[in-house]
Every structure is written in C-alpha cells, then in structure tokens.
C-alpha cells in the first residue's frame, strides 16, 4: 500500500455564487469577487489508492514544521494504518510526499524508518509534482459545500 500525503489549501467559497438559474435573456446578478484575504483552510490528506486514510485540518495560524508534521500527521496516520491493518500494521507501507522542508527533515525520515515505512523519493526537478495533483484538488473543489 502506498499513502500519499498532500496539503491542499481550500478557499472558502462565496455561498451566493452559482445559486441562480437564469432564463433566456436574463443577465446574471453582479457577484463581488472574493477578497484576496478570504479565509483559507489547510488540510493534510493521506490516502491510499481507493480511499482516504486520514484527513487532518490545520488550525489557522499554525506553523507546520517537522515536529508538527510528525506529531499531528504522521503519528495519527501510523495509528490509523495499524487500526485498519491489525495483522500487518505498517509492513509494506510506502509514503510519497513532496520535498517541502517538514517532509524532508531528518527527524521525519528517522520516524518513518522506525515505523517500517519506506519513503519514496520525489524528483528534485519536480518538487511540486505529486499524484494527487492530477485528481485530488479537482475532487475537493467539486465536492465543497457552502
């Protein structure tokens, strides 16, 4: 099993936008553009091929460093994997994440090794390329509710 963590930013949508059905010749109402400073929500999402394993919401203003990543993302992930796979635990688990500093920190690698999780390498020439870039963001945007 391979898990893919990813941290998408989700912009909270305007509940009025897209709520009007227009007839022929009707003009849509004026919708004010979203502020550049609109509230955003940060999620850490770990998933396997068929479904998510763990979704962690990061509190506003929280700095994500390697300690936060280990304590609030990786440890709960390992616990959830062990709960879902009681007989095999983290055996044969691979994790793929980008080269962000919290992900690439030595303590993160040490923790993953101590749990028996293999870290898949991310190409240095494609630091932001991750499998979920191809489908996860669109799925999240399509399923956002106001």
The pLDDT of residue 11 is: 47
In terms of pLDDT, which residue wins out, 64 or 98?
64
User: How many of the other CB atoms lie within 10 Å of CB of 4?
Assistant: 21
Q: Tell me how many domains the chain contains.
A: 1
User: How many of the other CB atoms lie within 10 Å of CB of 13?
Assistant: 14
Q: pLDDT band for 54, please (50, 70, 90 cuts).
A: very high
Instruction: Give domain status of residue 26, yes or no.
Output: no
Q: What residue numbers bound the domain in which 61 lies?
A: 2-9+39-143
* CATH at residue 130: 3.30.420.10
The pLDDT of residue 90 is: 93
Instruction: Give domain status of residue 117, yes or no.
Output: yes
Calculate the average pLDDT of the chain: 79
Instruction: Give domain status of residue 130, yes or no.
Output: yes
pLDDT per position as a tens digit, 9-41 = 544 454 554 555 666 777 776 666 667 777 778
Cα–Cα distance between 114 and 70 in angstroms, integer?
12
């Amino acid at each position: 099993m391979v898990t893919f963590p990813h941290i998408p930013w989700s912009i909270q949508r305007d509940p009025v936008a897209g709520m009007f059905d227009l007839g022929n010749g009707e003009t849509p109402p004026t919708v004010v553009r979203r502020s550049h400073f609109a509230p955003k929500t940060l999620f850490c999402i770990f998933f396997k091929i068929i479904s998510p394993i763990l979704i962690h919401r990061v509190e506003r203003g929280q700095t994500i460093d390697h300690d936060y990543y280990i304590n609030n993302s990786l440890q709960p992930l390992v616990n959830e994997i062990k709960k879902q796979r009681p007989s095999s635990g983290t055996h044969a688990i691979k994790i793929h994440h980008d080269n962000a500093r919290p992900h690439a920190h030595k303590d993160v690698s040490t923790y993953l090794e101590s749990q028996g999780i293999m870290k898949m390498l991310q190409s240095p020439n494609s630091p932001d390329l991750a499998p979920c870039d191809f489908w996860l963001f669109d799925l999240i945007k399509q399923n956002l509710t106001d």
